[in-house]
């Protein structure tokens, strides 16, 4: 009986994964933003502190892109339905109508969304992030971390559609005694993230890629990822390549003598999740870190952190740090071909967060509000004109 249940379950999962592989093989071309007019940017507030920091980032973008907006080259579209209340009510990670609205955009700027777990007041639905990354096939999660005074300049290429995440809601408890989860590595899925990392290493002149796995223990899936990394490294002779296990990598990110050698770091989904929070902490916290989730047709930009329900419960939502979203907005502008505006915004953020620091966000009443910080950034942008 148990064997039968397991067999049926696994067969369904395997079939779906082979279908995904076929789909990945079909999707070859990247969208060309230069050919689009207007570029439609979906603004998703999400929950918790999400609507606050998304709105403040939008205000900054409206000021920065006033010309492009007036000329109709860029259009912003509000998408409101991705709240935990709505998702729980629909018992879907992303309700159908919201997914349709999302898919009608070209790129998305997304606030954090609450991810329930067993025992929460919400139904234990799948994470909206994981669902969106899967539905839009956003395979490359790119997370830069910079601490110039420490000579840290890292760019993480986190695989975003496989690993422990893809079947994270499809594990199985056979009975009260035994539960199993599944981890997936595909050749196609690994190659595309590895190539993205190596291409970036060449294009950026960083010329160094580090793969992170636990291939000595997780032999099939991590083993495959590492084996493919070594094969692809050979296609890029100008790029120095090495590999580390995730445990010692977590330690070495804290070693001032070693860590400056890391440049581009490519890694499976879960390790990317964990190490990027650690890395962001060195930069000033997860509240300062933005990320790009890139696919061939869609791209989504977001903070690397969650919706911080604790901040909302404690009445501190207005004091949340919007700079993670603003950094994500810089990445979005770069991605859609607005390099000049991206540079203007990142320069203003560097000034606000590193050199001037006239307004410091602490996440509490003793710091600046997200709105004050937003106004300060707009002021800096106007000064530089």
What is the contact surface with ligand IPM in residues (CB under 6 A)?
A: 115, 127, 129-130, 273, 304, 306
CA distances in angstroms from 56 to 208, 286, 305, 320, listed in the order given: 36, 17, 17, 11
Rounded distance between C-alpha atoms, residue 288 and residue 284, angstroms: 6
CA gap 47, 93 in Å, rounded: 13
CB closer to ligand IPM, 130 vs 381: 130
In the list ligand IPM, Mg ion, none, the entry touching 127 (Cβ below 5 to 8 angstroms by class) is ligand IPM
Shortest distance (Å) from residue 158 CB to ligand IPM = 8
Partner in contact with 280, chosen from ligand IPM, Mg ion, none, beta carbon below 5 to 8 Å by kind: none
Q: How many CB atoms lie within 10 A of CB 265?
A: 26
The string of DSSP letters for 348-370 reads: HHHIIIII---S---SSTTS--H
What is the C-alpha to C-alpha distance for residues 17 and 184, in angstroms, rounded to an integer? 8
Query: From Mg ion, ligand IPM, none, which one binds at residue 306 (CB under 5 to 8 Å depending on kind)?
Result: ligand IPM
Q: Which of residues 92-131 bind Mg ion (CB under 5 A)?
A: none
Cα–Cα dist 356/343, whole Å: 17
Q: Which backbone phi and psi does 92 adopt, to 5 degrees?
A: -130, 145
Nearer to ligand IPM, 243 or 273 (CB): 273
Q: Ramachandran region of residue 240, left (φ > 0), alpha (ψ -120 to 50) or beta?
A: beta
When the beta carbons of 212 and 304 are compared against ligand IPM, the nearer one is 304
64/303 with CB nearer ligand IPM: 303
User: Are residues 382 and 352 in contact, defined by beta-carbon separation less than 8 angstroms?
Assistant: no
State which residue, 142 or 352, has the beta carbon closest to Mg ion.
142
Contact between 181 and 167 under an 8 Å Cβ cutoff? The reply is yes
Minimum Å gap between C-beta 279 and ligand IPM is 12
254 vs 96: CA distance, rounded Å: 43
Contact assessment for residue 209 and residue 196, using Cβ atoms and an 8 Å cutoff: no
Of 93 and 233, which CB lies nearer to ligand IPM in the complex structure? Answer: 93
The verdict on 302 binding Mg ion (CB under 5 A) reads no
**Minimum Å distance from CB 77 to Mg ion?**
26
Using DSSP's 3-state secondary structure scheme, residue 384 falls into coil
State phi, psi for 116 to the nearest 5 degrees: -70, 160
Q: For ligand IPM, give the closer residue by CB, 301 or 338.
A: 301
Sign of the Cα torsion 217, 220, 225, 231 reads: positive
The three-point CA angle 42-264-361 to 5° equals 55
| Smallest separation (angstroms) from Mg ion to the CB of 370 | 21
Q: Least Å distance between CB 165 and Mg ion?
A: 10
129 binds, among ligand IPM, Mg ion, none (CB under 5 to 8 A by kind): ligand IPM
**Residue 115 binding target from Mg ion, ligand IPM, none, CB below 5 to 8 Å by type:** ligand IPM
Q: Which is nearer to ligand IPM, 24 or 130 (CB)?
A: 130
Cβ at position 346, least distance to ligand IPM in Å:
21
Among 101, 273, 302, 344, indicate the residue that binds Mg ion (CB under 5 A). Answer: 273
Instruction: Output 47 or 273, the one with its CB closest to Mg ion.
Output: 273
Q: Which two tokens stand for residue 241?
A: 């390549």
State the binding partner of 221 from ligand IPM, Mg ion, none, CB within 5 to 8 A by kind. none
Closest of 152, 224, 157 to residue 188, by C-alpha: 224
Question: In whole angstroms, how far apart are CA 42 and each of 75, 287, 368?
Answer: 8, 22, 28
As measured in angstroms, the least distance from the Cβ of 97 to Mg ion is: 27
As measured in angstroms, the least distance from the Cβ of 87 to ligand IPM is 13
Closest distance of CB 105 from ligand IPM, Å: 19
Residue 163 contacts which entry, ligand IPM, Mg ion, none (Cβ below 5-8 A, type-dependent): none
How many residues sit close enough to Mg ion to count as binding (CB under 5 A)? 1
Q: How far apart are CA 210 and CA 255, in angstroms?
A: 16
Choose the one of ligand IPM, Mg ion, none that binds residue 185, judging by a C-beta under 5 to 8 angstroms depending on kind.
none
- Interacting residues toward Mg ion by CB under 5 A: 273
């Amino acid at each position: 009986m148990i064997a039968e249940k397991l067999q049926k379950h696994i067969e369904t999962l395997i079939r779906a994964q082979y279908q995904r592989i076929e789909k990945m093989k079909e999707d070859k071309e990247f969208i060309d933003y230069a050919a689009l007019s207007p570029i439609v940017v979906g603004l998703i507030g999400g929950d918790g502190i999400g609507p606050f920091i998304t709105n403040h980032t939008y205000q900054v973008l409206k000021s920065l892109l006033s010309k492009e907006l007036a000329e109709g080259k860029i259009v912003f579209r509000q998408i409101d339905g991705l709240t935990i209340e709505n998702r729980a009510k629909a018992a879907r990670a992303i309700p159908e109508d919201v997914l349709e609205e999302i898919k009608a955009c070209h790129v998305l700027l997304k606030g954090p969304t609450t991810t329930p777990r067993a025992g929460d007041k919400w139904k234990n639905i799948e994470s909206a992030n994981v669902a969106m990354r899967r539905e839009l096939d956003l395979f490359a999660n790119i997370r830069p971390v910079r601490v110039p005074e420490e000579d840290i300049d890292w760019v993480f290429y986190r695989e975003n559609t496989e690993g422990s995440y893809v079947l994270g809601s499809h594990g199985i408890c056979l009975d009260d005694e035994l539960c199993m989860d599944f981890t997936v590595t595909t050749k196609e899925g690994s190659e595309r993230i590895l190539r993205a990392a190596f291409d970036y290493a060449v294009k950026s002149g960083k010329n160094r890629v580090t793969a992170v796995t636990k291939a000595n223990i997780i032999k099939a899936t991590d083993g495959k990822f590492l084996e493919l990394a070594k094969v692809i490294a050979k296609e890029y002779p100008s790029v120095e390549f090495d590999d580390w296990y995730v445990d010692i990598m977590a330690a070495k990110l804290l070693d001032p003598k070693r860590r400056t050698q890391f440049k581009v770091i490519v890694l499976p989904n879960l390790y990317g999740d964990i190490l990027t929070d650690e890395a962001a902490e060195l930069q000033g916290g997860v509240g300062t870190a933005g990320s790009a989730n890139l696919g061939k047709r869609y791209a989504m930009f977001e903070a690397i952190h969650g919706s911080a329900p604790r901040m909302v419960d404690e009445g501190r939502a207005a004091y949340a740090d919007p700079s993670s979203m603003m950094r994500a907005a810089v990445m979005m502008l770069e991605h859609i071909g607005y390099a000049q505006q991206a540079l203007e915004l990142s320069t203003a953020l560097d000034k606000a967060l590193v050199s001037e620091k006239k307004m410091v966000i602490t996440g509490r009443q003793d710091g600046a509000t997200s709105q004050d910080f937003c106004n300060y950034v707009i002021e800096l942008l106007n000064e530089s004109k």
